[in-house]
Amino acid sequence: MARGKQDRPWEAQLRVDLHGKNRETAIWATKQAVFDARRRGFTRLEVIVGRGLGTQDGKAILKPVVEKWLHGPEARAAGVRDAQPGPGGGTFRVSVTPPERTVGGS
């Protein structure tokens, strides 16, 4: 039996790794990755935030900040369709709406 579109494993077309970034820079890099994915016609983006294991208290710093942005109105306006936690808890699988294509336009 042939594998249908729904059966294929989720595979990122573009990745952005936010390790070592502060909150502000992480949001900026995430926005840029969304814009880049759309510009390139990609629909699947992986955002690597880490699990917080390297922090003093072992709690994730970037994950909640990036998650809030990905589910907010600015991300929707930027083209984020959906964002779900990836396996292992240190990533987000982001579905991006491809840009509208104009036929014969400039």
Instruction: Write out pLDDT tens, residues 28-50.
Output: 999 999 999 999 999 999 999 98
**Which residue spans within the chain are E strands per DSSP?**
14-17, 44-48, 80-85, 91-96
Q: Quick one: which of 18, 7, 8, 9 has its CA closest to 62?
A: 18
Tens digits of residue pLDDT in 50-104: 887 777 787 888 999 999 999 999 999 999 999 999 988 899 999 999 877 656 5
Q: What is the pTM of this model?
A: 0.83
Q: Quick one: which of 80, 82, 85, 73 has its CA closest to 49?
A: 85
Residue 7 token pair: 């059966």
- Determine the length of the chain: 106
